Structure 1
Amino acid sequence: MGSDLSRSTTVEVTRKYAGQYARASRKDKGRVRDEFCALTGPSQEQARHLLVKSATRTPNATRIDRRKAEPRNYSNDSREVLEHLWALSGGWCGPHLAAGMSPLLDALVNWSRWLDC
């Protein structure tokens, strides 16, 4: 906002004017917005957005993440092997890793046989 008010002062002023804005008639809302803009500095549209948003927000409310987690395509064991192969390949991207999977697995099996001897 283009004013010299501190952030905490701006928040307090916004809360005060948001209550007035919510209770005001349509004619008085313009006056409240004008006062708010003169004091804090946003445009009329930004002021309307801030005042409506502040009036409807519950103070100290935490946001709940309602996104659904994607189901895993691989089991944990398979994922560990894939991550190991990816690290051995030097971090190849998916298509290159898929193309080089067979030689990498063969090399890994041969290496483990050599270690068992």
Structure 2
Amino acid sequence: MQARAEITRKYAGAYAKASKKDKGRMLDEVCAVTGWSRDNARRRLRAVAKRPPGAGRPEPRTRARKYSYDALKVLQRVWAASGGQCGKYLKVSMPLLLDLLEGRGRARGRH
């Protein structure tokens, strides 16, 4: 894996500045060495060329939480009480299940 990254870095700058004919030759060389397809090699060379020098892999964006921790725990209990229903059916049966669990005192975590 390290060798592929080095080869990609080596070719990326030249690939960005090369003519169409030279790009094809470079892609052939990169594909022969790495075993990648031409599409994958092209995508990776362009991505490395766009990155500023010294920059590592970009940090993945984290998605904002949709539910609070407490709401998530209640949802997990309702889902478990339903027998693991899919979301489509769980949505329909949720009011009934919440009423039943609250009546027994189990919706809030009390056993």
- 2:33 is aligned, of 29, 34, 39, to 39
Instruction: Answer 1 or 2: higher relative contact order, Cα 8 Å, separation at least 6.
Output: 1
1 CA distance for matches of 2:23 and 2:48? 15
The 3 A distance-change label for structure 1 pair 100 and 67 is: closer
Amino acid paired to 2:7: V
Alignment-derived partner of residue 3 in structure 2: 9
SS at match of 2:43: helix
Q: Does 1:83 align with 2:80?
A: no
Q: TM-score, normalised by structure 1?
A: 0.56
Q: Does 1:99 align with 2:96?
A: yes
Give aligned pairs, total. Answer: 94
1 CA distance for matches of 2:57 and 2:65? 23
Q: Which residues of structure 2 form unaligned runs of 5+?
A: 106-111
Alignment-derived partner of residue 22 in structure 1: 16
- Give the percent of matched residue pairs that are identical in Structure 1 and Structure 2: 32
Q: TM-score, normalised by structure 2?
A: 0.59
Q: Does 1:60 align with 2:56?
A: yes
SS at match of 1:17: helix
Residues 8 and 45 of structure 2 are in contact (CA less than 8 Å); yes or no, is this contact kept in structure 1?
Answer: yes
2 CA distance for matches of 1:90 and 1:35? 54
